[in-house]
Structure 1
Amino acid sequence: MPVCRLNAENPVFRAPLLFILIITFLCFLIFILHEYLTRVKHGIREIGAKQYQCFSTISDNSDDFRQNLLRPLLIERVPGTPGNARARQFIISKLQSINMWDIELDTFDEMTPYGNVEFTNIIATLDSTATRRLVLACHYDSKELSNFVGSTVSSVPFAVLLDLAISLKK
């Protein structure tokens, strides 16, 4: 009985090896093409003056912004305090009222100079099934600063993000 040895010179071995190499090359080519097309599709594009004007009218009520989004956040929001819990509940209720966002809370304890403190991140996802997502992030808490008057640190950026979240519904 003849012995069939698998080596590069054996024609029986060459055909499957060639097939595997071709399939590997095609998979690599498809991967490269996908990456290229994804970057082209989601690349940076310039917008014109007309589009800027359109964007600027999406949220153009500054009184509403100040009264309904910013004012409720202009409180002390030190983690672990009632003010922080109130700000968190305000943010969650605003996002829920838009009815477009999946909301998760990421709560954890962390050691600070003031002891162990509970922190909570609010994670709102517009389309949790999407393969690509845009992340907009800022913190809503404030530092504990004695003799410090002011609470706009992080409240203005967060109010802007809430305004953006509301504007996306339009």
Structure 2
Amino acid sequence: MKLEHWALFAHPKVSLATSYYSDLADEHERVTGRKGSHAATRANIVQAMHRHIPLQVGIVEVFDGQRTAQAREELLALGVRSVNVDRGSVGRGEVRVPSTADLCGRCAKGRAPVMSDGTVTPCVLGRFLRTGNAKTDGLANVFSGQPWADTAARIPRRPVPTAGCTPADSNDCDPANTPACDPAY
């Protein structure tokens, strides 16, 4: 990652989240499909810890026998305190196509993930809902733009807020470990 990105990430209102698939490079890269992704991801995790940047890591179990427990232990040893393990939505060899109906209904409310390529989405679980690009459009333009408004309007809202689901709380949005925040499936 570039040095100027780390300066931006050090802002007190910024937190980072990433996925990690295994403590072994070949398993991690089997999931990502990119050679070198394990080393790059691990190096960025180490850098975030070194810089005391809040970091949440999700370990997604995608295939049987995947070394998720070992990956969790490695992350804890590196100093990561927020590590969630979840299962991917893969079954019978097919990946289920995501939909807005799968989301908790609180997306686009005071938070917005910005992916490494600049893509802005209304929720970390709604990465398929691309609303603009922070790098090319700027965040103010993304949030005031029609794609953001249209996407936010398409996300079904729950009629009554679910107690215990606090997506607006800094670092407390934890769908993998908070039943109240589970996606709607």
TM-score interval (norm. to shorter): under 0.3
- Structure holding more helix per residue: 1
1 or 2 for the larger relative contact order (CA 8 Å, sep ≥6)?
A: 1
TM-score, length-normalised on structure 2?
Answer: 0.23
TM-score, structure 1 normalization: 0.25
